[in-house]
Amino acid sequence: MIKGTLLIVDDNNGILNALKVVMQDEFEKVIAITDPNRINEILRKQDVDIVMLDMNFKSGIRNGNEGLFWMREIFIYDSNISVVIVTAFGDIELAVKAIKEGAVDFILKPWDNSKLLATINVAWQLRLSRLEASTLKKDNLLLKKEINRGGVKIVHGASPTMINVNNIVTKVAGTDANVLITGENGTGKELVAREIHNLSKRGGELMVSVDMGSITETLFESELFGHVKGAFTDAREDRKGKFEIAHSGTLFLDEIGNLSLQSQAKLLSVLQNRYVVRVGSNKQIAIDIRLVCATNCDLLQMVSEGKFREDLLYRINTIMIEVPPLRDRVDDIPILANYFLRVNGERYGKNGLKISTHALEKLANHSWPGNVRELQHSIEKAVIMSDSPVLKPSDFVFSSTHKNAIHNDMTLEEMEKKMILDSLKRYSNNISVVAEKLGLTRQTLYNKIKKYDL
């Protein structure tokens, strides 16, 4: 059963009742009306997913203008609603006109029940896809506002290293070149990816982010390429993958170094062929995406060890941007700290907070193993706990684990391994707590524990 609401509008009671009988077992809720003037009232009172709409309501008038008028009214109220036209054989031209204006399809009277249900199922899948895309667009807009609140962009900074990063971002954004962003956890790789997207010609479209470290091997194809109903046990309906959702926009694949060789081969095939095939289907679906990837791994070393495909590395690495750790961009700490102070001050109703000079000195002298993410959490905590309009050095307390985490003679992977091991010991192997403290998903943490044999 479809967990949605169907509205049927037809002035012929016989047709109305017949459609209601067929559909009442298919939908959670079916509303049937003969008067189209009630459409707006119904849309105001509840969410409607699909409308089956007759083209003509006044006796003797067969031009279809009434149906077109009400379809436009429906789209004004909610452009994501799927409209299916119900019409007689002689009105096919009107139905085609309605499709050109946004209807999903049309159903001819008298109808075949199997074809009717197939058409309604397509309309439902389109409704779900539109809602998903609409939600992602809203999330993208909210994130843009959050990032740019107060006129400060987190990607930018006063340090020479970040000025260089910003120059590369500006140059590459206007192209469709694939970009690989490298750097330690918490340095802001996704923010750099979002800046590239926002400045690109695809900036008005979606940027879809995928944490590759959180996707299991068995769900990789379904999540990225989609699936059809019945493809596997839990596939109760057709579903678009991330590639399809990101069509015309940007696809950001984070933690790409965590992919297995098998998944790497599948990803490479899609990038080369520029189409996806949903799990359980043979249909090729063309995709047009800007690809941006990120990793904290040394992919060249992984290639030499046979853990990462060299051909995939070349495919994703047209341009590489390395985001420096926060300890190497001390000049940016006051800019970022004041930005996070302003954002969290607004969030927690403490506008006008300031950071004292001595507190800024303490922040500048910290090693920041968690990078920008750690700074963000530190400022948020200080804002919540402080009773004073000025944050003092005592408002910032750093653990001894963090102070001793960075050693100049350690590789990036060795530092990461040490941080995870120290956190596991400190929090008694509580995976949820450790993942939260390190800014990772549980699945990503599991993958890293397995990788480092901890």
Cα(93)–Cα(402) distance, integer angstroms: 71
For residues 84 and 156, state if they share a domain: no
Question: Of residues 453 and 412, which shows the higher confidence score?
Answer: 453
**In terms of C-beta distances under 8 Å and separation of at least 24 residues, what long-range contacts does 24-33 make, across chains too?**
25/1, 26/1, 26/2, 26/117, 26/120, 27/1, 27/2, 28/1, 28/2, 28/3, 28/4, 29/4, 29/5, 30/5, 30/6, 31/5, 31/6, 31/7, 32/7, 32/8, 33/7, 33/8, 33/9
Same domain, 79 and 204: no
* Tens digit of each residue's pLDDT (9 = 90 or more) over 134-149: 776 666 665 555 555 4
Local confidence band at 151 (pLDDT 50, 70, 90 cut-offs): very low
Same domain, residue pair 181 and 289: yes
Query: Are 9 and 125 in the same domain?
Result: yes
pLDDT-derived band at 150, boundaries 50, 70, 90: very low
The answer to whether residue 355 is domain-embedded is: yes
Whole-angstrom distance, CA of residue 295 vs CA of residue 180: 8
Residue type, 22: V
Q: Which residue among 129, 162, 186 closes a domain?
A: 129
Q: What's 327's DSSP letter?
A: G
39 and 67 part of one domain? yes
Q: Both 171 and 117 in a single domain?
A: no
Res 400: pLDDT: 52
Residue 404 forms part of a structural domain:
no
Could you tell me the pLDDT band of residue 404, with boundaries at 50, 70 and 90?
A: very low
Assign residue 32 the CATH number of its domain: 3.40.50.2300
Beta-carbon contacts of 219 under 8 Å, excluding residues fewer than 6 positions away, are: none
pLDDT above 90: residue 87: no
Q: What sign does the dihedral 406-411-415-421 (CA atoms) show?
A: negative
Give residue 396's pLDDT band: very low, low, confident or very high (50, 70, 90).
very high
pLDDT band at 281 (very low <50, low <70, confident <90, very high): very high
pLDDT of residue 31: 94
Mean pLDDT throughout 432-444?
Answer: 81
Q: Which residues pair with 226 in a beta bridge?
A: 240
> Distance between CA atoms of 384 and 382, rounded to whole angstroms?
5
Residues 368-388 have a mean pLDDT of 92
Query: Total domain count for the chain?
Result: 4
Under 8 Å CB-to-CB from 142, ≥6 apart: which residues? none
pLDDT tens, 307-364?
A: 999 999 999 999 999 999 999 999 999 999 998 999 899 989 998 899 999 999 999 9
Confidence of residue 234 (pLDDT cuts 50, 70, 90): confident
Residue with token string 């962009």 = 153
pLDDT over threshold 90, residue 435: no
Instruction: Give the mean pLDDT of 209-223.
Output: 89
**Burial call 96-128: b when 16+ CB within 10 Å, e when fewer:** ebbeeeebbbbbbeebeeeebeebbeebbbbbb
Please count the other Cβ atoms lying within 10 Å of the Cβ belonging to residue 340.
22
Backbone dihedral region for residue 139 (phi beyond 0: left; psi -120 to 50: alpha; all else: beta): alpha
pLDDT at residue 406, as a whole number: 46
Given a cut of 70, is residue 407 above it in pLDDT?
no
pLDDT in tens, 113-122: 888 998 998 8
* Lowest pLDDT segment from 11-15, 159-163, 404-408: 404-408
Name the amino acid, one letter, at 172: V
Backbone angles phi, psi at 121, to 5 degrees: -65, -40
Give the C-alpha separation, 34 to 116, whole Å: 20
Are 391 and 356 spatial neighbours (Cβ–Cβ below 8 Å)? yes
d(CA 206, CA 100): 24
Let me know whether 46 and 118 are in one domain: yes
> Which residues form the domain of 187?
152-322
- Residue 376 sits in a domain whose CATH number is 1.10.8.60
Q: Among 68-77, 203-212, 304-313, which range has the highest average pLDDT? A: 304-313
Average pLDDT over residues 225-251: 88
Domain assignment present for 24:
yes
Q: How far is CA 242 from the centre of its chain?
A: 8
Within 13 Å, how many C-alpha atoms sit on residue 281's CB side? 21
Question: What separation in angstroms does the CA of 450 have from each of 89, 149, 414, 444?
Answer: 63, 39, 14, 10
Listed residues 350, 378, 398: the one ending a domain: 398
Residue 140 in any domain: the answer is no
Q: Which of 160-164, 340-344, 401-405 has the lowest mean pLDDT?
A: 401-405
Helix H or strand E segment including 197 = helix 189-199
Highest mean pLDDT among 6-10, 158-162, 231-235, 444-448: 6-10
| Same domain, residue pair 318 and 337 | no
311 & 356 share domain:
no
**Global pTM?**
0.62
Across the range 416-427, mean pLDDT stands at 82
When mean pLDDT is compared across 89-93, 170-174, 361-365, the lowest value belongs to 89-93
**Are residues 28 and 101 part of one domain?**
yes
Q: Are residues 313 and 337 in the same domain?
A: no
Quote the mean pLDDT of the chain: 86
Judging by beta carbons within 10 Å of its beta carbon (0-12, 13-18, 19+), is residue 62 exposed, middle or buried? Answer: middle
- Collapsing DSSP to helix, strand or coil, 368 comes out as coil
| DSSP three-state, residue 211 | strand
Q: For residue 405, what pLDDT band results from cuts at 50, 70 and 90?
A: very low
Q: Is 144 domain-assigned?
A: no
Backbone angles phi, psi at 106, to 5 degrees: -135, 155
Bridging pattern class, strands 207-211 and 250-254: parallel
* Percent of the chain's residues with pLDDT above 90: 51
Q: Could you give the CA distance from residue 10 to residue 87 in angstroms, rounded to a whole number?
A: 10
Task: Check whether residue 197 and residue 300 sit in a common domain.
Answer: yes
- Contact assessment for residue 73 and residue 37, using Cβ atoms and an 8 Å cutoff: no
CATH number at residue 230: 3.40.50.300
pLDDT at 138: 66
Is pLDDT above 80 for 193? yes
Residue where one domain finishes, among candidates 286, 304, 322:
322
Query: Would you state the pLDDT for residue 155?
Result: 60
Residue 60's pLDDT is 54
Lowest mean pLDDT among 270-274, 291-295, 372-376, 421-425: 421-425
CATH number (domain holding residue 420): 1.10.10.60
- Within a domain: residue 146? no
